[in-house]
């Protein structure tokens, strides 16, 4: 394949060249341990603090509210475990049916350990019912954990409204913002969440690093013990290069936020309109909801998503699919199922997720190449015929 | 990411015999939308040389890459065959033709074989068999019957629920039926063991063959995730079925000739010939 058109940025993103450049010295040259007394190691702590300040600035947070972790999954787990540990009498968790597996898998595990979990439903447009949330939170609720934006549909939940409801009831709120940080403006001074999780590799930073925002004054219990790092809040020698990378990525994200909202959104919208115009019997999932500017989840009737994805792969176009066959689970993605996408369409769902590195030419290429693939697979299909 | 080999990719990207036949002699329609894959097969049967032979075959499919490839391979295998020959085609023939499929995709080949047999039944005007006790649905998610699971377990010597899922999809969604699948596997294996006991060693040599197979050959194959089972001893001919990883192994024949047969010749009788049976 000569040419890669990468449109799977909700899975992972390219490390920005500026990020890579800034990380490089921290492998073989400046490899010291920031905890060391000697200046060769100790000085590196300053670089970590710079990264923390950059990330705090992106979130409208204070530096001491940022804890670096190993990944988004660890951040999610830390927030939920912290709430259960600091409020041991509360045995109830509220979350949604469309959370990332990092939260859903943990909640299912906790149910096995005797906790009660309420899973909030969504409607066909992928939206929460805030009334259901208000009713779900009780005095026994240790934490509400609801994602900011969905990784598959791109649907954005109303975080401010959610926070208001949860905080009125005096409960802790965690949001998995892995997909929204860097794509949507966030300001922790305005949005009263207690915990917010993010991941480096979703915003053009490196893999293997995440962060957890913990609002100052929130009761906190660490998940990883046995080290004083991160102010005793996350033990383990710092992944220096990746933390430096995440800091740089956060700085770039702040500078490019407007571009996500304008140029990236315009490319996504053009792609959506052209695909709908060129492919009959096609629906856009979550089209009537607020969505991430970069995400298009689209279902082509009568055909199957793995076939679409692999035919695009032959052309160097990278997308992902929620179809049953792609995962080995044999089931259509839980998000597509919960959005009640009709069966004739559900299996033919693909997710196209852009980034600021995509170009108009790449979008043209997909507009040119994808409709004939859909037509060809439909020719093969026993469905959708008169 | 699935590891599809080049042949599977070729049949996916350039499927053979796609389409519809006008006025077909038989139609096989298997799978359904809910399951995420479906296959419709059309055949034309020629009787001019006194035998019933498939003269034309076409398919339409809704499914993933391996479903398309398996359907394409199946039509290539069946084209030109007599109906009696076609009746013998199993999903394993499709897998072999394609040079292997990922374990979780074996069910696509099963669908291919089912469509073929359904098309022949339709051509012969056979009524769908009356429901029997075996026909009760075990996997509600994919509408897989006890009979389908029994057949898959029996024919392919499956021993785990995971293998059954790979072959039939049963148990692959909510997983509630997995205890039932395990019960069926247990019953089929017990039935098979009872059948095996019918082969009473007639003499010391045959007893020795059993011993070498059980104590030296099977454990060695087990190291690689494979195995084998003795089916019959007919004179110098030792018939075995291969199990586990051996079934899908590209080096199956080498293993049989250079390991199983060689070992039996060395240790028991130099005239022994090992054959793989079904």
Q: Which of A253, A281, A315 is the last residue of a domain?
A: A253
| B231 pLDDT higher than 60 | yes
Please tell me whether residues B149 and B223 are part of one structural domain.
no
| Domains of chain A: total | 2
Which residues 285-324 of chain A have a CB within 8 Å of chain B? 302-304, 306-307, 310-311, 314, 323-324
Please tell me whether residues B184 and B208 are part of one structural domain.
no
- Residue A1 confidence class, pLDDT cut points 50, 70, 90: very low
- Catalytic residue (choose from B64, B108, B197, B246): B108
pLDDT, tens digit, 9 for 90 and up, residues A322-336: 876 655 566 788 999
How many helices (H) and strands (E) are present in chain B, helices listed first? 12, 8
User: CB of B208 within 8 A of CB of B268?
Assistant: yes
- Residue B264 confidence class, pLDDT cut points 50, 70, 90: very high
The per-residue pLDDT for B152 is 85
pLDDT, tens digit, 9 for 90 and up, residues A8-64: 999 999 999 999 999 999 999 999 999 999 999 999 999 999 999 999 999 999 999
Residue A367 burial by Cβ neighbours in a 10 Å radius (0-12, 13-18, 19+): middle
Asked if the Cβ–Cβ distance from B62 to A324 is below 8 Å, we say: no
The per-residue pLDDT for B15 is 97
The CATH number that applies at residue B107 is 3.90.1010.10
| Contact status of B58 with chain A (Cβ, < 8 Å) | no
What is the 8-class DSSP label of residue B257? Answer: I
Please tell me whether residues A54 and A125 are part of one structural domain.
yes
| B139 is known as an active-site residue | no
What is the 8-class DSSP label of residue B125? Answer: T
Domain that holds residue A369: 5-11+257-380
| A5 pLDDT higher than 60 | yes
The per-residue pLDDT for A98 is 96
Whether B209 maps to a domain, the answer reads: yes
The per-residue pLDDT for B148 is 85
* CA dist list (Å): A7 to A282, A294, B30: 19, 9, 35
Please tell me whether residues A104 and A241 are part of one structural domain.
yes
Residues 6+ apart with CB under 8 A from A146: A94, A95, A96, A99, A120, A128, A133, A157, A162, A173, A174, A175, A176
Q: Give pTM, 2 decimals.
A: 0.82
| Contact status of B33 with chain A (Cβ, < 8 Å) | yes
| B219: helix, strand or coil | helix
pLDDT, tens digit, 9 for 90 and up, residues A238-257: 999 999 999 999 999 999 99
Mean model confidence pLDDT for chain B: 86
**Which of B268, A306, B251, B267 is CA-nearest to residue B276?**
B251
Residues 6+ apart with CB under 8 A from A91: A114, A115, A116, A140, A142
Whether B1 maps to a domain, the answer reads: no
| B245 pLDDT higher than 80 | no
The CATH number that applies at residue A76 is 3.40.640.10
pLDDT, tens digit, 9 for 90 and up, residues A353-383: 999 999 999 999 999 999 999 999 999 999 9
Token representation of residue A299:
């279902």
What is the 8-class DSSP label of residue B142? Answer: T
Please tell me whether residues A59 and A184 are part of one structural domain.
yes
Whether A103 maps to a domain, the answer reads: yes
The per-residue pLDDT for A327 is 57
Asked if the Cβ–Cβ distance from A324 to B40 is below 8 Å, we say: no
Give the lowest-confidence range in A250-254, A278-282, A331-335, B74-78. Answer: A331-335
pLDDT, tens digit, 9 for 90 and up, residues A65-102: 999 999 999 999 999 999 999 999 999 999 999 999 99
Nearest Cα of chain B lies from the Cα of A62 at a distance, in angstroms, of 41
| B198 pLDDT higher than 60 | no
Please tell me whether residues B74 and B174 are part of one structural domain.
no
Please tell me whether residues A249 and A293 are part of one structural domain.
no
pLDDT, tens digit, 9 for 90 and up, residues A300-320: 999 999 999 999 999 999 999
The CATH number that applies at residue A290 is 3.90.1150.10
| B239 pLDDT higher than 80 | yes
């Amino acid at each position: 394949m000569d040419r890669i058109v990468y449109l799977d940025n909700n899975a992972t993103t390219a490390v920005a060249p500026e990020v890579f450049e800034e990380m490089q010295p921290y492998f073989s040259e400046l490899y010291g341990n920031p905890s060391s007394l000697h200046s060769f190691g100790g000085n590196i702590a300053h670089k970590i603090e710079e990264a923390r300040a950059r990330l705090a600035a992106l979130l409208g947070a204070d530096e001491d509210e940022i804890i670096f972790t190993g990944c988004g999954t660890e951040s999610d787990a830390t927030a939920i475990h912290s709430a259960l540990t600091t409020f041991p009498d509360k045995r109830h968790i509220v979350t949604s049916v469309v959370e990332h597996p990092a939260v859903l898998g943990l909640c299912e595990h906790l149910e096995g350990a005797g906790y009660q979990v309420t899973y909030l439903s969504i409607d066909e447009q992928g939206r929460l019912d805030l009334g259901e949330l208000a009713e779900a939170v009780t005095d026994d609720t240790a934490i509400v954990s609801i994602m900011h934006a969905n990784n598959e549909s791109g649907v954005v939940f109303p975080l401010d409204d959610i926070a208001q409801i949860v905080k009125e009831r005096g409960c802790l709120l965690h949001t998995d913002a892995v997909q929204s940080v860097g794509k949507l403006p966030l300001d922790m001074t305005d949005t009263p969440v207690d915990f917010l999780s993010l991941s480096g590799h979703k915003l053009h930073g490196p893999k293997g690093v995440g962060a957890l925002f913990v609002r100052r004054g929130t009761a906190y219990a660490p998940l990883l013990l046995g080290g004083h790092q991160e102010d005793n809040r996350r033990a383990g020698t710092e992944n220096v290069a990746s933390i430096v990378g995440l800091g740089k990525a956060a700085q770039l994200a702040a500078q490019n936020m407007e571009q996500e909202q304008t140029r990236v959104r315009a490319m996504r919208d053009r792609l959506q309109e052209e695909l709908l115009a060129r492919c009959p019997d096609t629906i856009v999932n979550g089209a009537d909801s607020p969505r991430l500017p970069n995400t298009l989840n689209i279902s082509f009737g009568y055909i199957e998503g793995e076939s679409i994805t692999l035919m695009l792969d032959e052309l160097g176009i990278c997308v992902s699919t929620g179809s049953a066959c792609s995962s080995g689970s044999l089931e259509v993605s839980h998000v597509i199922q919960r959005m009640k996408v009709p069966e004739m369409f559900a299996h033919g769902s693909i997710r196209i997720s852009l980034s600021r590195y995509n170009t108009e030419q790449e979008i043209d290429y997909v507009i040119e190449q994808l409709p004939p693939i859909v037509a060809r697979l439909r020719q093969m299909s026993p469905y959708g015929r008169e | 990411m699935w590891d599809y080999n080049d042949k599977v990719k070729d049949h996916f990207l350039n499927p053979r015999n796609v389409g519809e036949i006008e006025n077909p002699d038989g139609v096989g329609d298997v799978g359904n939308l809910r399951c995420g894959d479906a296959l419709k097969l059309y055949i034309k049967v020629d009787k001019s040389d006194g035998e019933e032979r498939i003269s034309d075959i076409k398919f339409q499919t809704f499914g993933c890459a391996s479903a398309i490839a398996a359907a394409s391979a199946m039509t290539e295998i069946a084209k030109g065959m007599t109906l009696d020959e076609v009746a013998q085609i199993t999903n394993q023939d499709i897998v072999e033709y394609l040079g292997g499929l990922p374990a979780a995709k074996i069910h696509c080949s099963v669908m291919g074989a089912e469509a073929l047999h359904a098309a022949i039944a339709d051509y012969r005007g056979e009524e769908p068999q009356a429901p029997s006790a075996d026909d009760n649905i075990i996997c509600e998610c994919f509408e897989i019957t006890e009979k389908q699971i029994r057949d898959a377990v029996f024919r392919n010597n499956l021993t785990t629920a995971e293998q059954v899922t790979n072959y039939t999809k049963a148990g692959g969604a909510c997983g509630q039926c997995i205890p039932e699948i395990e019960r069926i596997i247990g019953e089929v294996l017990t039935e098979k063991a009872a059948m095996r006991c019918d082969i009473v060693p007639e003499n010391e040599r045959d007893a020795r063959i059993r011993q070498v197979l059980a104590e030296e050959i099977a454990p060695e194959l087990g190291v690689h995730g494979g195995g084998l089972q003795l089916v019959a001893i007919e004179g110098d001919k030792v018939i075995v079925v291969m199990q586990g990883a051996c079934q899908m192994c590209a080096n199956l024949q080498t293993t049989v000739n250079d390991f199983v047969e060689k070992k039996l010749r060395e240790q028991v009788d130099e005239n022994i010939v090992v054959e793989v049976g079904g």
